[in-house]
Amino acid sequence: MDFLTRHRSIVALISFSLFCIISLSVQGGGFTLTFEGVMSAIVTPFSKGYNAISNGIGGLFSGFEATDTLRENLRKAEAKLQKYESMQIEIIQAELSEVRTENEKLRVLLGFKERVRYNSIASQIVSKDPDNWFRTLIINKGANDGVSVNMPVIAYQNGQKIVVGKIVEVRGSISRVQPVIAPDIRLGVKLQESKIPGLISGYSYNSDFCVVSYISRATPVKKGDVIVTSGQAGVFPPELLVGTVERTELSETNPYQKIIVKPYIDYSLLEEVFILLKNPDKDFFEMFGEVQ
């Protein structure tokens, strides 16, 4: 006992180190998850509170600035409304309906599957990963709102659906989103033009780029080519925008080329996301033994 007291620093160092090493070795075990749950439950209300206060203060100041902009926008909107009212709306609607019907007929003729529409829930980012090594986002919707693991998360930009990431952890009122720039995410994508499929993941820790792997060296790829989801991995619906090609990297030893992609989403500016209420395709996951 006297030895322990005299050498308490060394004893503590060994004990703490052993705890960490054992925990790292058995990661994913029940204790780890429960412990993290308790810690999250303690810290999350503070994060939410901070977020609410900072949003409130920011909103107050921006509210003053926004009044003038709002008045100007209102004036423009009124002018636009008058212009549109003067147009023959019925004719436009009839033309639109005709095009839609024709599109559906063509889809049937080409044997395309009917597009499935998924419900979505809007959610706010309340916090981001506190460390530079990981890039996850914490959102204010959780199991209580019907969110579950592996649901796709998207954002809207200029009316287009853009991939943000997928849900990797769900608690009562919050969830953790793994963004597409994280090195440990894997997402089925394809080149929009040539339809060549590949697998996208984050380029590295703390980088804002992604990398598409398993694209043959022979495939022509140029800067600006659009990358979309393939829908083949069972998590994301097809044809959601991911990013554009920045450059390609070739190495002597690799039969594939690496395509560096710049995502459409700027993660430092992202505030609001939408969770698609789509559960992963069960058959696909069972095939790879990922469903317990």
Partner 1 sequence: MILPYIFTALLTAVALILQGADIIAIAGKKPDLVFIIVVYIGYSFGSFNGQLAGFIGGLFHDSISRSPLGLLTLPKVVLGFMAGMIGRGVVKNTVIAIMLLLFVASLLKGILTLFLAYIFHQALLVSVIQVIIPEALYNAVIAPPLFFIFDRIFHGELERGGFL
Site track for partner 1 across 211-250, x = CB under 8 A: ----------------------------------------
Residue closer to partner 1 (CB basis): 37 or 220? 37
Helix (H) or strand (E) holding 229: strand 226-229
Does 78 bind partner 1 (CB under 8 A)? Our answer is no
Angle at 130 between CA 156 and CA 259, to 5 degrees: 55
Contact 284, 235 (CB under 8 A): no
Pairing type for strands 272-276 and 152-157 reads antiparallel
Q: Report in angstroms how near the CB of residue 180 gets to partner 1 at its nearest.
A: 14
Site track for partner 1 across 157-196, x = CB under 8 A: -----------xx------x-x---xxx------------
Contact region with partner 1 (CB under 8 A), list: 11-19, 105-113, 252-260, 275-283: 11-19
Residue closer to partner 1 (CB basis): 51 or 279? 51
Does 36 bind partner 1 (CB under 8 A)? Our answer is yes
Does 57 bind partner 1 (CB under 8 A)? Our answer is no
Contact region with partner 1 (CB under 8 A), list: 46-54, 70-78, 147-155, 253-261: 46-54
Q: Report in angstroms how near the CB of residue 138 gets to partner 1 at its nearest.
A: 7
Helix (H) or strand (E) holding 81: helix 30-86
For the record, the structure tokens of 191 come out as 């080149």
List the interface residues with partner 1, window 246-275 (CB under 8 A): 268
Contact 138, 123 (CB under 8 A): no
Among 14, 17, 20, which Cα is nearest to 35's? Answer: 20
Q: How many residues bind partner 1 (CB under 8 A)?
A: 51
Contact 139, 174 (CB under 8 A): yes
Contact 39, 171 (CB under 8 A): no
Residue closer to partner 1 (CB basis): 228 or 273? 273
Single-letter residue type at 53? I
For the record, the structure tokens of 109 come out as 């003729």
In angstroms, the CA 18 to CA 38 distance is 22
Does 23 bind partner 1 (CB under 8 A)? Our answer is yes
Contact 179, 136 (CB under 8 A): yes
Does 5 bind partner 1 (CB under 8 A)? Our answer is no
Other Cβ atoms closer than 10 A to 79: 10
Per CB under 8 A, residues contacting partner 1 are: 8-9, 12-13, 16-17, 19-25, 27-28, 32, 35-36, 38-40, 43-44, 46-47, 50-51, 54, 127-134, 136, 138, 168-169, 176, 178, 182-184, 204-208, 268
